[in-house]
Structure 1
């Protein structure tokens, strides 16, 4: 039950920040010389890789996310570490799939850069997916 609540909170936080970005980020919010909020959309997977804005591409990405979620649920272990990691990955996947359905792309807004070197713009769902994946790998390493 606590993982379901965590999943709902993380998904709501992701969707809420995407909605905020859609409504408020008409111009970039610059915080430091390397960190800003800038509205962008992304038809690809995490960090804009493998971009595909076609309907078939969007369906393929959404189906892939769903299959990963099913795999994580089906191969769930009862360790707290892997459960929390899976919860983060699934909440990020759900947030990005909902964004794809509503906007035909994922809304991104977090921008990191150094001088002329820019990391692809991302969102909280991408952070949850990356942190969840790293945590899952760490859980496996600790287990072995």
Structure 2
């Protein structure tokens, strides 16, 4: 007897995609319209954590920011093409963990693409800092992408670079 759809790798991957995309878009909506962070600029949460409003017109760590208005379209299209390729990977993998991670990456990519289409830039707002050290400002989508890629790399290294285990 087959497992229910939501317990199969692809179903779990779609669930991860939906959860990351929802959490990302809801958090950005609250930051923009609930907290009204664009008017406040920055809000201190903890001695090492602020909500700081940043409109990211580039990609990771500000790379390729010199594309101007074309960047909005170029980055959105690339994000959606990557998300489509990730859906194919998610559909083909027998590993539940891989499907969940790939789904989370796809959800993050789609979330940031939605921002680019809607606002012309990605909404970034989480700012970690301590002892004079400051990390880049990021969002829920970015966190999901980075954490999921780290898990995929760890999974691959633990499996000896062979096919990921289930």
Q: Is the 8 A contact 1:65 1:93 kept in 2?
A: yes
Deviations 1:47-91 (A, max 9, x none): 433324623212221222122223222334120121111011001
Q: Is the 8 A contact 1:88 1:131 kept in 2?
A: no
Is 1:7 the counterpart of 2:17? The answer is yes
Is 1:62 the counterpart of 2:72? The answer is no
SS of residue matched to 1:120 = coil
How many residues were matched structurally? 144
Structure 1 segments, 4+ long, off by >3 Å, are none
Q: Is the 8 A contact 2:87 2:106 kept in 1?
A: no
Q: Is the 8 A contact 2:12 2:100 kept in 1?
A: no
TM-score by length of 1: 0.88
Deviations 1:10-61 (A, max 9, x none): 2111001111111212322212222111122101113433324623212221
By how many angstroms is 1:129 displaced? 0.6
List aligned pairs for 1:115-126, cutoff 5 A: 115-126=131-142
Is 1:106 the counterpart of 2:122? The answer is yes
Unaligned 5+ runs, structure 2: 1-10, 161-166
More deviation, 104-113/59-68: 59-68
SS of residue matched to 1:6 = helix
Unaligned 5+ runs, structure 1: none
More deviation, 36-45/133-142: 133-142
Distance 1:69 1:46, change over 3 A: same
Is 1:48 the counterpart of 2:62? The answer is yes
Q: Which of these two proteins has the greater Rg computed from alpha carbons?
A: 2
